[in-house]
Structures are given as structure tokens and as C-alpha cells.
Structure 1
Amino acid sequence: MIRVLGLAAVSVALAFTVVQPARAADSELIQGQAGTWLVAPESGAKGCRLTFGTNAVSSGYEITGADACATPLPALATATMWNFTDDGSLAIADAAGTLLMRFQQEEGSPWQSEGGNPTWLLPALGDVDHVPTAASLAGAWRIQRPDGKLVCDITLTTDKDPDGTAKMSPNGDCASEIGDLKLTLWAAEGFGLVMLGSDGSSLSFDMKPDGTFQKSEEEEGEPLLLVRK
């Protein structure tokens, strides 16, 4: 998970001492992080895009596009650099080296902050400027082949089980590849959606720029789409 630190706690102490330019051996890691990212609240509120570069500046690497954050995320409006910290976090700072936001990442999950208002750091997806929420995704959906052939109609709800995970249910008969998974729960994480079965099975989807979902590349089997009915 990502932690957002208060400016009072870091403005003097940080001086970006925890963020140093990457060694040559880390250049592949830096290159892999370069590109345009969406920083957006978990609440579904509008976020902003930042472009992470590979040119070294001060104690990190350049950030451009921060002016777009002035309204949706004013805390990032002065961002000029990014880098990885010694503990594996990703830090965003201003020209003076003051830490503005810090993110952490658990294996298999996106970069996320923690605190009063959790925030995602995700590879930009088309013109999408916010992340979906459980409430916005709830409703009737169809799992289908890319050619449109129906595989299973499902309903995603906001009702939760005792552990706090949202419930889902199939509507009628489903093809065995879905029916055999015994899917009963679902969760959204960033631009990802995962369905969970009562026997420990799961099925993951990744959001597309048009708001539909496609089966994650890590999943085995034939490609599937998840579209609203």
C-alpha cells in the first residue's frame, strides 16, 4: 500500500535523502516506470496525469504535466521529480526536494497510497481521468467472446459478505468455463476487476479505455470480454 505523508513531517527532514538517482544496474527499472500515469483518488473523483521521464534532475527523474493537477489534486501541482526510495516506495517531490506523495505496491497490485484519502497511481488509460468504484460498476454485465457470443450473464452488487467483499451472481445458465468457477464475489482495484469463486477460483479482467473489460493476459484460456447489458 502507498502512504501519503504530511508535508509538516517531511519538508525539513526529507531533503530527498531517501531518494537517490538510480545506479546503472537499475536503469531498466527506471525505464520501465517511465511514461504517462494517472494519479486518481480511490473514491472515483477526477485525477490528473503525470509524465515520468528518465532525465535525471536533482535527486530524481523529471516529471512533466503537473500543472494539470492544480484543480483535481493540488498537492501535486508543483511536482517536478520522481524516484524510488530505499524501501521500494515511489516518491513524488517538488523542485526543492519536498515529498508531495509516496506510493507503495504489493505484488500483483497497482501502486496505492494510504491515509485519509487513498490514491492510485496507474498507467494512463486513454482519456480516462478517474478509477471505477464498486458503486459505479454494480449492475448487469455480460461475459462474452470477442465475436459477441454469450458466455454468461452476471450481476455485480454492492451487497457484501461478512468479510466485506461485494457479492455477485450468474443469471441463468453459464458456459462451463465460467459456471465451474462458482463465482460468488468480486472486487475492483484500480483499473482491474476480479471475480472470486467459493472454491478459491478467480477470474481477472482489465478495463479498456471505453469502459468495458477484457480478460487479463495472465489468465489462461480463450479471450473474454465483460460488457454492460
Structure 2
Amino acid sequence: MIRFVLRLAASAATLLICGAAYGQDIDPDIIKVQAGTYLVAPQDGAAGCRITLETDMAIGGHSLSGQDSCAKPMPTLAEAAAWNFDGNGGIILIDATRKVLARFVENEGSPMKTEDGVPLLLIAAPNGIDRLPTFGSLAGTWTMQRPDGEKLCGVTLKGNAEADGNAPLSLSGDCAANVATLKLAVWHVEGFGLTLMGHDGSSLAFDMRADGNFDKSKEEGGKPLSLVRQ
């Protein structure tokens, strides 16, 4: 499963889809669940900016802050004055005249993103990260290792995604048995999540950390494991 970090709980999403139309009163608990600081960034890896969705009322929705940081990377979003739900499980950013500047659509199993032009993602991000990782930016040699530095396997990620949305990878010949048996062959990046997969359904999911390396997703269970760039 491709993992990503997003604060919209499943129960909140259901309530939104079932009738919280744009302009209607929204349960304060749903607003609190969605509130927080997010990175808004192009899917192609270009620089983005951080915006904080707040719970106070504002013209056309709820207040936000941090939009000034968008002035250089995405000037249009620097005009954002409020945010709101769109009635279909998505989020909109609007200016002082209630013009919609960006509409982030809910995608099951993926971060919210816009549908026009180069998609923009609305996603929680590690501190200090201002852009999304891409196949190209992650391509190269990595080491799979334990927190104490014990090396389990060398992993080379290829940078070109194929038609199925995955890119090939290769493992070093000295991998630990518990890694070698997974027969990992391809990888995928979605938001700040990276997944290594085998053709038989085996997989290992990792979440990006602030230094650009990855730790095994907590949902995986088992011993801690990291991917560290060489």
C-alpha cells in the first residue's frame, strides 16, 4: 500500500462527501481534524510553500496563514485569504473576493491534489522540506540499514517510471536473507512515501524524514529500518 500523511480522518471524509456542501455549516470537530500546516507543492518536484489551515471563521470559510511564503514559488496562492471544504471531500483555497485559487480533490489512497495543469498537492510534510520527492530526485544508490548502522542491503533506484507508474530497482548481491527473500524489483513514490515492491506482492513502505532519508513506515511493524542515500 502506498502511504502518505494526511490529517483528514476517514469518518470526516465520509461526512463531507455525504453533504457538507460549500457554504454550509460544518461540524467544528471536522474543521479541527483538517486544520494544520501543509505543504502545497507541484507534483513535478518544483518548490512549494507551507500554508496553515486554521479554525477561525473568515470571509468564505476559515482563516489561514503562511500564504506570504507562496509569493515567490506560487504567486497566485499568496493571494489566498481563506480555505473551505468544497462539498465533495475536497479543499479549496479562495481569495478575498471568494474566487477559488486552488481546488484540492480527494483521491482515495493518494494525497489531495488539483486536477488542472501540473497537479499541486496539499500534504503534511517533514519540517524543512519545501518540495515533493520525484523518481528523478530519488534515483541513485541507497543503503537499507538498522538504526545502529547495521547494513542489510544496497538498493539502486532507477529514475524512469514505466507505464505502470513504477520504476525498476536492483539489490546488491550481499543482502541479508530477510531482505533477499522479498525479491524487491520495482519502487514507487507517492507524496512523501516510498514503497519497494516485488512482483509477487511483497513490499516495504518508507516515509521520508527531514534529512531526505527514509524510515520504514510504522504501519509495517517489525524492527526499525531506514533507507539512507549514499
Q: TM-score range by the shorter chain?
A: 0.7 to 0.9
For the structure 1 residues 174 and 73, does the alpha-carbon distance in structure 2 shift closer, same or farther, using more than 3 Å as the test? same
TM-aligned CA deviation for residue 54 of structure 1: 0.5
For the structure 1 residues 197 and 46, does the alpha-carbon distance in structure 2 shift closer, same or farther, using more than 3 Å as the test? same
Give the SS at the match of 1:49: strand
1:19 equivalent to 2:27? Answer no
1:200 equivalent to 2:201? Answer yes
For the structure 1 residues 132 and 18, does the alpha-carbon distance in structure 2 shift closer, same or farther, using more than 3 Å as the test? same
TM-aligned CA deviation for residue 20 of structure 1: 2.5
Corresponding residue number in structure 2 for 1:109: 110
Q: TM-score, normalised by structure 1?
A: 0.86
What is the alpha-carbon distance in structure 2 between the residues aligned to residue 128 and residue 41 of structure 1? Answer: 13
Corresponding residue number in structure 1 for 2:142: 141
What is the alpha-carbon distance in structure 2 between the residues aligned to residue 173 and residue 120 of structure 1? Answer: 38
For the structure 1 residues 58 and 167, does the alpha-carbon distance in structure 2 shift closer, same or farther, using more than 3 Å as the test? same
CA RMSD across the alignment: 1.8
Structure 1 contact 138–156 (Cα < 8 Å) conserved: yes
Give the SS at the match of 2:130: coil
Work out the percentage of aligned pairs sharing the same amino acid: 47
Structure 2 contact 40–48 (Cα < 8 Å) conserved: yes
Corresponding residue number in structure 2 for 1:95: 96
What pairs with 1:1-229 in structure 2 (closer than 5 Å)?
Answer: 18-20=21-23, 22-24=25-27, 27-161=28-162, 163-229=164-230
Give the SS at the match of 1:32: helix
Structure 1 contact 19–91 (Cα < 8 Å) conserved: no
Give the SS at the match of 2:159: strand
* Deviations 1:10-37, CA, capped at 9 Å, x for gaps: xxxxxxx95225433xx33221221211
How many correspondences in the alignment? 211
AA aligned to 1:52 is L
What is the alpha-carbon distance in structure 2 between the residues aligned to residue 159 and residue 68 of structure 1? Answer: 32
TM-aligned CA deviation for residue 86 of structure 1: 1.2
Structure 1 contact 19–59 (Cα < 8 Å) conserved: no
> Gaps spanning 5+ residues in structure 1: where?
1-16
AA aligned to 1:222 is K
After alignment, is 172-181 or 33-42 more displaced?
A: 172-181
> Gaps spanning 5+ residues in structure 2: where?
1-19
What is the alpha-carbon distance in structure 2 between the residues aligned to residue 213 and residue 85 of structure 1? Answer: 33
* Deviations 1:166-186, CA, capped at 9 Å, x for gaps: 100111132233222211111
What is the alpha-carbon distance in structure 1 between the residues aligned to residue 40 and residue 98 of structure 2? Answer: 20
